[in-house]
Chains A and B, each alone.
Chain A
Amino acid sequence: MKAEKGRPFLVGLAVAIIAILAFPCGYQTVQAQTEHKTVFTSADIFITPDFNSSIRFAINGSCSEVSLVNGVWTFTNLRLNNSQASNNFSITAKDSNLTIYSLRTGDFNRSSFLRYTAQGEGTQTVNLYPGSTRQTHWSEWSVTVPRSGTIWLSEGENWKLQPDNSVIVWGLTGNISVVRYNFSPSYRDSNLPLHLQHSIAIITAEVLATVVATTVIIQITARRR
Chain B
Amino acid sequence: MKIAVWENDPYIVVSLFVVAVAVGVALILKLSKDKTRKMSNLRLFVQCAAVIVVFMGLLVGPFNQPGSLFAPLGISPRDRLIGADILGTQFPDGISIPILACYYPTGRTVTCPIWHLQAYVFPFWDYPRGYQVNYSTLGIEKIAITLGMVAAAAIILGRAFCGWLCPFGLFQDVLTRIRKTARLKHLNFSDKTSVKLGQSRYIIIAVFMILSVIFASYAIFGYELIPGTRPGGPEGTEAGIVSNINEPFCLVCPMRPLCIIAEVGIGQMNWSYISQIVYGPFWISGFYLTSINLIILAIVIILSLAYRRFWCRICPLGALTALFSTFTPFKQIALTKLEKDQQKCTKCGVCKRVCPTQATAMYEKKGGDVTESRCMLCARCVEICPYEGALKMTFAGKTLAKSRNWLPQNKTDNNPKTA
Size range of the interface on A?
Answer: 35 or more
Contact B144 A111 (CB under 8 A): no
Are the CB atoms of B332 and A219 closer together than 8 Å?
yes
Known: A181-B241, A198-B90, A212-B333. A149 touches B137 (CB 8 A): no
Establish whether residues A204 and B231, one from each chain, have CB atoms under 8 Å apart when the complex forms.
Answer: no
- Measured between beta carbons, the chain A residues less than 8 angstroms from B135 are 187
Report whether B90 and A177 are in contact in the complex, using a CB–CB cutoff of 8 Å.
no
Which residues of B lie under 8 Å from residue A111 when comparing CB positions? Answer: 130
Known pairs A179-B235, A181-B129, A200-B91; A207 contacts B333 (CB<8 A): no
B216-237 at interface with A (beta carbon < 8 Å): 219, 230-235
Question: Is chain B's binding surface mostly helix, strand, loop or mixed?
Answer: loop
Residue pair B137, A201 in contact (C-beta under 8 Å): yes
Interface residues of A in 176-191 (CB under 8 A from B): 177, 179, 181-183, 185, 187-189
Per-position binary interface string of chain A over residues 88-117, scored 1 when its CB falls under 8 Å from any chain B CB and 0 otherwise: 000000000000000000000001000000
Pairwise interchain contact B234-A149, C-beta atoms closer than 8 A: yes
- Residues on A with beta carbons closer than 8 Å to the beta carbon of B276: 149
Within the complex, the shortest CB–CB distance from A146 to chain B, in Å, comes to: 9
Query: Shortest CB–CB separation between residue A32 and chain B, in angstroms?
Result: 30
Q: Chain B 62-92 against A: per-residue CB contact (8 Å), 1 yes, 0 no?
A: 0000000000000000000000001111110
Given known A152-B232, A212-B333, contact A187–B136 (CB-CB < 8 A): yes
CB of A84 within 8 A of chain B? Answer: no
Chain A residues with CB below 8 A from B202, complex form: none
Q: How many A-B contacts if CB must be within 8 Å?
A: 104
Report the separation of the CA atoms of residues A35 and B235 in the bound assembly, to the nearest whole angstrom. Answer: 37
A interface footprint on B113-142 (CB within 8 Å = 1, 0 otherwise): 000000000001001111000111100010
Residue A211 is within 8 A (CB to CB) of chain B in the complex: yes
- Chain B contact residue count (CB 8 A cutoff): 44
How far, in Å, is A209 (CB) from chain B's closest CB? 9
CB of B46 within 8 Å of the partner chain: no
Bound Cα distance A211, B151 (Å)? 9
Check A215 against B334 for contact (C-beta < 8 Å): yes
Question: When the two chains form the complex, which single residue of A154, A198, A222 contacts B230, counting CB atoms closer than 8 Å?
Answer: A154
Report the minimal beta-carbon distance from A74 to chain B, rounded to whole angstroms.
Answer: 26
Closest A residue to B151 by beta carbon equals A208
For B88, list chain A residues within 8 Å (CB): 200
Question: 1/0 contact trace for B329-359 toward A, CB 8 Å?
Answer: 0001111000000000000000000000000
CB pair B141 A198 closer than 8 Å:
yes
Bits for A129-155, please: 1 = Cβ < 8 Å to B, else 0: 000000000010010100001111010
Given A183-B128, A207-B148, verify A218-B232 contact (CB < 8 Å): no
A154 to B242, CA, bound (A): 11
- Whether A72 is near chain B, meaning CB under 8 Å from some CB there, is no
Is A42 part of the binding interface, using a Cβ–Cβ cutoff of 8 Å?
no
- Whether the Cβ atoms of B235 and A150 lie closer than 8 Å is yes
By the criterion CB–CB under 8 Å, are A142 and B231 in contact?
A: yes
Query: Would you give the 0/1 interface string for B235-251, flagging 1 where the beta carbon is closer than 8 Å to chain A?
Result: 10000110010000000
Given contacts A205-B148, A219-B332, 12 further A-B contacts (CB under 8 A): A139-B219, A144-B235, A150-B234, A198-B137, A199-B90, A201-B137, A201-B144, A201-B148, A207-B152, A208-B151, A208-B152, A215-B155
